[in-house]
Structure 1
Amino acid sequence: MASSLFLILCTSLIIFMPATNTRVQASVQFKVGGILGWHEPALNNTDFYSQWAERNRFQVGDALVFEYQNDSVLRVEELDYMTCDASNPITAFNNGKSTFNLDRPGNFYFISGTNDHCKNGQRLVVDVMHPHPILTSPPPISLPPEGFPPEGFPPMDPPPFDQSSDDSTSASVVLTATSSSVLVTFVSVMLLAP
Protein backbone atom coordinates (compact mmCIF):
# COMPACT_ATOMS: atom_id res chain seq x y z
CA MET A 1 0.00 0.00 0.00
CA ALA A 2 2.74 2.44 0.98
CA SER A 3 4.75 1.78 -2.19
CA SER A 4 1.64 2.35 -4.36
CA LEU A 5 0.97 5.63 -2.58
CA PHE A 6 4.61 6.66 -3.08
CA LEU A 7 4.43 5.81 -6.79
CA ILE A 8 1.22 7.83 -7.19
CA LEU A 9 2.77 10.73 -5.29
CA CYS A 10 5.94 10.79 -7.43
CA THR A 11 3.98 10.52 -10.68
CA SER A 12 1.65 13.30 -9.60
CA LEU A 13 4.56 15.56 -8.67
CA ILE A 14 6.07 15.06 -12.10
CA ILE A 15 2.76 16.18 -13.60
CA PHE A 16 2.03 19.02 -11.13
CA MET A 17 5.41 20.76 -10.96
CA PRO A 18 5.61 21.95 -14.59
CA ALA A 19 2.08 23.33 -14.26
CA THR A 20 3.10 25.67 -11.43
CA ASN A 21 4.96 28.94 -11.66
CA THR A 22 8.14 27.30 -10.45
CA ARG A 23 11.16 28.72 -12.17
CA VAL A 24 14.40 26.81 -11.94
CA GLN A 25 17.38 28.64 -13.23
CA ALA A 26 20.95 27.52 -12.92
CA SER A 27 23.70 30.08 -12.71
CA VAL A 28 26.47 29.99 -15.28
CA GLN A 29 30.16 30.76 -14.79
CA PHE A 30 31.66 32.49 -17.81
CA LYS A 31 35.42 32.31 -18.28
CA VAL A 32 36.18 35.79 -19.58
CA GLY A 33 37.92 35.58 -22.97
CA GLY A 34 37.23 31.85 -23.35
CA ILE A 35 40.32 29.64 -23.47
CA LEU A 36 42.58 32.69 -23.84
CA GLY A 37 41.43 34.19 -20.54
CA TRP A 38 41.99 37.80 -19.42
CA HIS A 39 44.94 39.14 -21.42
CA GLU A 40 46.04 42.10 -23.49
CA PRO A 41 44.68 41.47 -26.99
CA ALA A 42 46.80 41.77 -30.11
CA LEU A 43 46.90 45.24 -31.72
CA ASN A 44 44.76 44.06 -34.65
CA ASN A 45 42.15 42.52 -32.28
CA THR A 46 41.25 45.36 -29.86
CA ASP A 47 37.52 44.45 -30.04
CA PHE A 48 38.22 40.96 -28.66
CA TYR A 49 36.34 41.44 -25.35
CA SER A 50 33.44 43.34 -26.92
CA GLN A 51 32.94 40.49 -29.38
CA TRP A 52 33.24 37.90 -26.60
CA ALA A 53 30.56 39.68 -24.53
CA GLU A 54 28.22 39.94 -27.54
CA ARG A 55 28.34 36.15 -28.01
CA ASN A 56 27.11 35.51 -24.47
CA ARG A 57 23.90 36.19 -22.55
CA PHE A 58 24.42 37.19 -18.95
CA GLN A 59 21.73 36.87 -16.30
CA VAL A 60 21.45 37.82 -12.63
CA GLY A 61 23.15 35.05 -10.63
CA ASP A 62 25.78 34.27 -13.26
CA ALA A 63 29.48 34.84 -12.57
CA LEU A 64 32.51 36.03 -14.53
CA VAL A 65 35.76 34.16 -13.97
CA PHE A 66 38.89 36.11 -14.88
CA GLU A 67 42.07 34.03 -15.29
CA TYR A 68 45.32 35.96 -15.86
CA GLN A 69 49.03 36.20 -15.15
CA ASN A 70 51.00 39.33 -14.19
CA ASP A 71 47.88 41.48 -14.53
CA SER A 72 44.80 42.62 -12.60
CA VAL A 73 41.07 43.18 -13.04
CA LEU A 74 39.32 46.35 -11.94
CA ARG A 75 35.59 46.91 -11.82
CA VAL A 76 35.07 50.59 -12.58
CA GLU A 77 32.40 53.18 -13.34
CA GLU A 78 31.37 53.80 -16.96
CA LEU A 79 33.40 57.01 -17.31
CA ASP A 80 36.53 55.28 -15.98
CA TYR A 81 35.92 52.46 -18.45
CA MET A 82 35.67 54.93 -21.35
CA THR A 83 38.84 56.80 -20.33
CA CYS A 84 40.78 53.76 -19.02
CA ASP A 85 41.19 55.44 -15.63
CA ALA A 86 42.39 52.85 -13.09
CA SER A 87 42.81 55.33 -10.21
CA ASN A 88 39.41 54.79 -8.53
CA PRO A 89 38.19 51.20 -8.95
CA ILE A 90 34.98 49.92 -7.33
CA THR A 91 36.62 46.50 -6.88
CA ALA A 92 40.16 45.35 -7.62
CA PHE A 93 41.45 41.80 -8.13
CA ASN A 94 45.07 40.70 -8.62
CA ASN A 95 45.27 37.06 -7.53
CA GLY A 96 45.41 35.40 -10.99
CA LYS A 97 41.94 33.86 -10.84
CA SER A 98 39.11 36.14 -9.80
CA THR A 99 35.35 35.53 -9.77
CA PHE A 100 32.83 38.34 -9.96
CA ASN A 101 29.14 37.60 -9.28
CA LEU A 102 26.58 39.40 -11.44
CA ASP A 103 24.07 40.31 -8.74
CA ARG A 104 21.85 42.81 -10.54
CA PRO A 105 20.65 43.65 -14.05
CA GLY A 106 22.44 46.36 -16.03
CA ASN A 107 25.99 47.08 -17.15
CA PHE A 108 29.22 46.10 -15.37
CA TYR A 109 32.52 47.65 -16.50
CA PHE A 110 35.96 46.03 -16.17
CA ILE A 111 39.45 47.15 -17.19
CA SER A 112 42.98 45.89 -16.72
CA GLY A 113 44.95 47.66 -14.02
CA THR A 114 48.22 47.20 -15.92
CA ASN A 115 49.49 50.34 -17.71
CA ASP A 116 48.21 50.73 -21.29
CA HIS A 117 46.47 47.31 -21.39
CA CYS A 118 43.05 48.98 -21.23
CA LYS A 119 43.97 51.42 -24.03
CA ASN A 120 45.07 48.41 -26.09
CA GLY A 121 41.66 46.72 -25.72
CA GLN A 122 41.79 44.85 -22.41
CA ARG A 123 38.46 46.11 -21.14
CA LEU A 124 35.04 44.56 -20.92
CA VAL A 125 31.46 45.74 -20.51
CA VAL A 126 28.88 43.10 -19.58
CA ASP A 127 25.16 43.76 -19.96
CA VAL A 128 23.18 41.63 -17.50
CA MET A 129 19.63 40.99 -18.69
CA HIS A 130 16.62 42.13 -16.70
CA PRO A 131 14.62 39.15 -15.44
CA HIS A 132 11.19 38.64 -16.97
CA PRO A 133 8.40 39.38 -14.50
CA ILE A 134 6.29 36.43 -13.41
CA LEU A 135 2.58 37.15 -13.58
CA THR A 136 1.00 36.55 -10.20
CA SER A 137 -2.54 37.05 -11.40
CA PRO A 138 -4.32 36.44 -14.69
CA PRO A 139 -4.75 39.37 -17.05
CA PRO A 140 -7.93 41.41 -16.51
CA ILE A 141 -11.12 40.25 -18.20
CA SER A 142 -12.64 42.70 -20.64
CA LEU A 143 -16.28 43.56 -20.10
CA PRO A 144 -18.59 43.45 -23.10
CA PRO A 145 -19.40 46.81 -24.65
CA GLU A 146 -22.50 48.65 -23.45
CA GLY A 147 -25.60 47.47 -25.25
CA PHE A 148 -24.34 43.89 -25.62
CA PRO A 149 -25.87 41.60 -26.76
CA PRO A 150 -27.10 43.41 -29.86
CA GLU A 151 -30.83 43.85 -30.34
CA GLY A 152 -32.54 40.71 -31.52
CA PHE A 153 -30.18 38.40 -29.61
CA PRO A 154 -31.38 37.26 -26.20
CA PRO A 155 -28.79 36.99 -23.42
CA MET A 156 -27.32 33.53 -22.93
CA ASP A 157 -28.51 31.44 -19.99
CA PRO A 158 -25.90 30.05 -17.63
CA PRO A 159 -25.07 26.35 -18.05
CA PRO A 160 -27.38 24.03 -16.10
CA PHE A 161 -26.20 22.97 -12.66
CA ASP A 162 -26.05 19.20 -12.23
CA GLN A 163 -27.16 18.33 -8.71
CA SER A 164 -27.18 14.59 -9.33
CA SER A 165 -23.55 14.01 -8.36
CA ASP A 166 -22.93 12.44 -4.96
CA ASP A 167 -20.91 14.98 -2.93
CA SER A 168 -19.74 12.31 -0.49
CA THR A 169 -17.66 10.46 -3.11
CA SER A 170 -16.41 13.24 -5.35
CA ALA A 171 -14.71 16.48 -4.55
CA SER A 172 -13.29 19.32 -6.52
CA VAL A 173 -10.39 21.38 -5.26
CA VAL A 174 -9.35 24.63 -6.84
CA LEU A 175 -5.85 25.70 -5.92
CA THR A 176 -4.36 29.07 -6.52
CA ALA A 177 -1.04 29.16 -4.76
CA THR A 178 2.68 29.02 -5.10
CA SER A 179 4.39 25.78 -6.01
CA SER A 180 5.34 24.98 -2.43
CA SER A 181 1.80 25.32 -1.10
CA VAL A 182 0.47 23.29 -4.04
CA LEU A 183 2.92 20.56 -3.16
CA VAL A 184 2.03 20.59 0.55
CA THR A 185 -1.70 20.56 -0.20
CA PHE A 186 -1.36 17.74 -2.70
CA VAL A 187 0.69 15.58 -0.33
CA SER A 188 -1.85 16.20 2.45
CA VAL A 189 -4.78 15.21 0.22
CA MET A 190 -2.95 12.08 -0.93
CA LEU A 191 -2.17 11.03 2.64
CA LEU A 192 -5.74 11.62 3.83
CA ALA A 193 -7.34 9.81 0.89
CA PRO A 194 -8.89 6.43 1.76
Structure 2
Amino acid sequence: MASLVFSCYIIFLVSVTTVQSARQFHVGDHLGWRQPDQNNTAFYTQWAQRNRFQIGDSLVFEYENDSVLSVEKFDYFNCDTNDPITTFTNGKSTFNLDKSGPFYFISGTDDHCSHGQKLLVEVMAPHSIPASPPTTIAVPPEGSSPIMAPSDSPYSSDTVDQATSSSTMVLASSFLSTLVTFGIVMMLGL
Protein backbone atom coordinates (compact mmCIF):
# COMPACT_ATOMS: atom_id res chain seq x y z
CA MET A 1 0.00 0.00 0.00
CA ALA A 2 2.85 2.38 0.79
CA SER A 3 4.30 1.87 -2.68
CA LEU A 4 0.92 2.65 -4.27
CA VAL A 5 0.62 5.87 -2.27
CA PHE A 6 4.20 6.75 -3.25
CA SER A 7 3.40 6.07 -6.93
CA CYS A 8 0.33 8.28 -6.71
CA TYR A 9 2.44 10.99 -5.12
CA ILE A 10 4.99 10.79 -7.97
CA ILE A 11 2.20 11.00 -10.56
CA PHE A 12 0.86 14.03 -8.74
CA LEU A 13 4.24 15.78 -8.71
CA VAL A 14 4.85 15.09 -12.40
CA SER A 15 1.40 16.34 -13.37
CA VAL A 16 1.69 19.52 -11.33
CA THR A 17 5.16 20.41 -12.63
CA THR A 18 4.36 19.71 -16.29
CA VAL A 19 3.95 23.26 -17.51
CA GLN A 20 5.36 24.95 -20.54
CA SER A 21 8.86 26.15 -19.77
CA ALA A 22 10.50 29.32 -20.99
CA ARG A 23 12.52 29.10 -24.18
CA GLN A 24 15.75 30.73 -25.22
CA PHE A 25 15.83 32.05 -28.79
CA HIS A 26 19.17 32.62 -30.52
CA VAL A 27 18.50 35.71 -32.61
CA GLY A 28 19.16 35.05 -36.27
CA ASP A 29 19.90 31.36 -35.65
CA HIS A 30 23.16 30.55 -37.49
CA LEU A 31 23.63 34.13 -38.73
CA GLY A 32 23.59 35.61 -35.24
CA TRP A 33 23.26 39.37 -34.81
CA ARG A 34 25.00 41.08 -37.71
CA GLN A 35 24.14 43.20 -40.70
CA PRO A 36 22.28 40.96 -43.18
CA ASP A 37 23.23 40.69 -46.84
CA GLN A 38 21.90 43.51 -49.00
CA ASN A 39 19.66 40.98 -50.80
CA ASN A 40 18.11 39.87 -47.51
CA THR A 41 17.43 43.02 -45.47
CA ALA A 42 14.18 41.52 -44.14
CA PHE A 43 16.07 38.62 -42.54
CA TYR A 44 15.34 39.53 -38.89
CA THR A 45 11.71 40.37 -39.66
CA GLN A 46 11.26 36.95 -41.24
CA TRP A 47 13.11 35.27 -38.37
CA ALA A 48 10.78 36.88 -35.81
CA GLN A 49 7.69 35.89 -37.83
CA ARG A 50 8.76 32.22 -37.78
CA ASN A 51 8.87 32.16 -33.98
CA ARG A 52 6.27 32.52 -31.24
CA PHE A 53 7.46 34.45 -28.22
CA GLN A 54 5.86 34.19 -24.80
CA ILE A 55 6.35 35.90 -21.47
CA GLY A 56 9.37 34.35 -19.74
CA ASP A 57 11.24 33.55 -22.96
CA SER A 58 14.58 35.19 -23.66
CA LEU A 59 16.52 36.38 -26.68
CA VAL A 60 20.23 35.63 -27.01
CA PHE A 61 22.15 38.01 -29.26
CA GLU A 62 25.60 36.83 -30.41
CA TYR A 63 27.74 39.37 -32.26
CA GLU A 64 31.24 40.71 -32.92
CA ASN A 65 32.26 44.37 -33.30
CA ASP A 66 28.66 45.46 -32.85
CA SER A 67 26.06 46.16 -30.17
CA VAL A 68 22.37 45.66 -29.47
CA LEU A 69 20.11 48.52 -28.46
CA SER A 70 16.67 48.03 -26.98
CA VAL A 71 14.72 51.07 -28.19
CA GLU A 72 11.29 52.66 -28.37
CA LYS A 73 9.04 52.21 -31.42
CA PHE A 74 9.89 55.62 -32.92
CA ASP A 75 13.64 54.95 -32.61
CA TYR A 76 13.21 51.52 -34.20
CA PHE A 77 11.47 52.85 -37.30
CA ASN A 78 13.88 55.80 -37.61
CA CYS A 79 17.04 53.82 -36.72
CA ASP A 80 17.81 56.38 -34.01
CA THR A 81 20.60 55.20 -31.68
CA ASN A 82 20.74 58.36 -29.52
CA ASP A 83 18.43 57.37 -26.65
CA PRO A 84 18.31 53.57 -26.16
CA ILE A 85 16.42 51.96 -23.28
CA THR A 86 19.23 49.41 -22.84
CA THR A 87 22.61 48.96 -24.53
CA PHE A 88 24.43 45.62 -24.84
CA THR A 89 28.07 45.52 -25.99
CA ASN A 90 29.62 42.31 -24.59
CA GLY A 91 29.29 40.06 -27.68
CA LYS A 92 26.73 37.68 -26.17
CA SER A 93 23.74 39.34 -24.58
CA THR A 94 20.53 37.92 -23.18
CA PHE A 95 17.31 39.91 -23.05
CA ASN A 96 14.38 38.58 -20.99
CA LEU A 97 10.89 39.01 -22.42
CA ASP A 98 9.05 39.90 -19.21
CA LYS A 99 5.75 41.23 -20.55
CA SER A 100 3.45 40.90 -23.54
CA GLY A 101 3.62 43.33 -26.42
CA PRO A 102 6.30 44.57 -28.80
CA PHE A 103 10.04 44.78 -28.12
CA TYR A 104 12.26 46.77 -30.49
CA PHE A 105 15.98 46.17 -31.10
CA ILE A 106 18.46 47.83 -33.44
CA SER A 107 22.19 47.67 -34.05
CA GLY A 108 24.25 50.39 -32.41
CA THR A 109 26.67 50.44 -35.36
CA ASP A 110 26.18 53.24 -37.90
CA ASP A 111 24.05 52.30 -40.93
CA HIS A 112 23.51 48.69 -39.83
CA CYS A 113 19.91 49.37 -38.78
CA SER A 114 19.07 51.11 -42.04
CA HIS A 115 20.44 48.04 -43.85
CA GLY A 116 18.14 45.63 -42.00
CA GLN A 117 19.86 44.90 -38.69
CA LYS A 118 16.82 45.54 -36.55
CA LEU A 119 14.37 43.25 -34.83
CA LEU A 120 10.76 43.63 -33.74
CA VAL A 121 9.56 40.87 -31.42
CA GLU A 122 5.88 40.57 -30.51
CA VAL A 123 5.39 38.71 -27.20
CA MET A 124 2.03 36.96 -26.97
CA ALA A 125 -0.30 37.68 -24.10
CA PRO A 126 -1.34 34.72 -21.96
CA HIS A 127 -4.23 32.95 -23.64
CA SER A 128 -7.57 32.10 -22.16
CA ILE A 129 -10.49 30.34 -23.75
CA PRO A 130 -13.12 32.92 -24.68
CA ALA A 131 -16.41 32.37 -22.95
CA SER A 132 -19.26 31.66 -25.30
CA PRO A 133 -22.93 31.85 -24.42
CA PRO A 134 -24.73 28.54 -23.98
CA THR A 135 -26.40 27.08 -27.04
CA THR A 136 -30.16 27.51 -26.95
CA ILE A 137 -32.52 24.67 -27.74
CA ALA A 138 -35.58 25.40 -29.86
CA VAL A 139 -38.82 23.83 -28.70
CA PRO A 140 -39.71 21.24 -31.35
CA PRO A 141 -43.16 20.97 -32.84
CA GLU A 142 -45.16 18.05 -31.54
CA GLY A 143 -44.04 14.71 -32.98
CA SER A 144 -40.56 15.81 -34.12
CA SER A 145 -37.12 15.66 -32.56
CA PRO A 146 -35.33 18.64 -30.95
CA ILE A 147 -33.15 20.75 -33.22
CA MET A 148 -30.23 22.78 -31.95
CA ALA A 149 -30.60 26.48 -32.77
CA PRO A 150 -27.50 28.30 -33.94
CA SER A 151 -25.61 30.03 -31.18
CA ASP A 152 -25.24 33.81 -31.17
CA SER A 153 -21.60 33.39 -30.15
CA PRO A 154 -19.13 35.67 -31.94
CA TYR A 155 -16.67 32.76 -31.92
CA SER A 156 -16.78 29.92 -34.39
CA SER A 157 -15.60 26.52 -33.23
CA ASP A 158 -12.43 27.10 -35.28
CA THR A 159 -11.72 30.31 -33.37
CA VAL A 160 -12.22 28.60 -30.02
CA ASP A 161 -9.96 25.74 -31.11
CA GLN A 162 -7.27 28.21 -32.14
CA ALA A 163 -7.57 30.12 -28.88
CA THR A 164 -6.99 27.01 -26.78
CA SER A 165 -3.32 27.14 -25.90
CA SER A 166 -1.19 24.14 -25.10
CA SER A 167 -0.45 25.51 -21.64
CA THR A 168 -4.17 25.59 -20.86
CA MET A 169 -4.46 21.97 -21.90
CA VAL A 170 -1.46 21.05 -19.74
CA LEU A 171 -2.99 22.78 -16.73
CA ALA A 172 -6.32 21.04 -17.29
CA SER A 173 -4.54 17.71 -17.58
CA SER A 174 -2.58 18.42 -14.40
CA PHE A 175 -5.79 19.29 -12.56
CA LEU A 176 -7.49 16.07 -13.67
CA SER A 177 -4.42 14.02 -12.71
CA THR A 178 -4.45 15.65 -9.30
CA LEU A 179 -8.13 14.78 -8.82
CA VAL A 180 -7.58 11.16 -9.86
CA THR A 181 -4.55 10.84 -7.58
CA PHE A 182 -6.45 12.36 -4.67
CA GLY A 183 -9.37 10.00 -5.29
CA ILE A 184 -7.12 6.94 -5.33
CA VAL A 185 -5.35 8.00 -2.13
CA MET A 186 -8.69 8.66 -0.41
CA MET A 187 -10.10 5.28 -1.49
CA LEU A 188 -7.02 3.47 -0.20
CA GLY A 189 -7.07 5.40 3.04
CA LEU A 190 -10.69 4.43 3.83
Query: Normalization by structure 2: what TM-score?
Result: 0.68
Aligned pairs, number: 164
- The runs of 4+ residues in structure 1 deviating greater than 3 Å are 10-14, 139-145, 148-152, 182-189
| Structure with the higher helix share, 1 or 2 | 2
Partner of 2:61: 66
Equivalent residues in 2 for 1:151-162, closer than 5 Å: none
- Read off the aligned partner of 2:29 and give its amino acid letter: G
Helix, strand or coil: the match of 2:25?
strand
Structure 2 CA distance, aligned partners of 1:86 and 1:29?
26
Structure 2 residue 124 is the aligned partner of structure 1 residue 129:
yes
Report sequence identity in percent: 55
Partner of 2:108: 113
Question: Structure 1 stretch 23-32 or stretch 81-90: which is displaced more?
Answer: 23-32
Deviation at 1:86, TM superposition (A): 0.3
Partner of 1:193: 189
Contact kept, 8 Å, 2:9 with 2:181, in 1: the verdict is no
Q: C-alpha deviations, 1:133-163, integer Å up to 9, x for none?
A: 267x9x6656778xx69789xxxxxxxxxxx
Higher RCO (CA < 8 A, seq sep 6+): 2
Helix, strand or coil: the match of 2:111?
coil
Helix, strand or coil: the match of 1:61?
coil
Partner of 2:148: none
Structure 1 CA distance, aligned partners of 2:62 and 2:10?
45
Query: Which structure has the larger Rg?
Result: 1
CA RMSD of aligned residues (A): 3.6
Structure 2 residue 88 is the aligned partner of structure 1 residue 93:
yes
Q: C-alpha deviations, 1:6-48, integer Å up to 9, x for none?
A: 34x258749xx5xx9x971111111001111000112221111
Q: C-alpha deviations, 1:114-140, integer Å up to 9, x for none?
A: 1111111111111111221267x9x66
Partner of 1:2: 2
Partner of 2:19: 24
TM-aligned CA distance change 1:11 to 1:48, over 3 Å: closer
Structure 1 CA distance, aligned partners of 2:10 and 2:106?
51
Flag structure 2 segments of 5+ consecutive residues without an equivalent: 144-173
Query: Normalization by structure 1: what TM-score?
Result: 0.67
Flag structure 1 segments of 5+ consecutive residues without an equivalent: 153-178
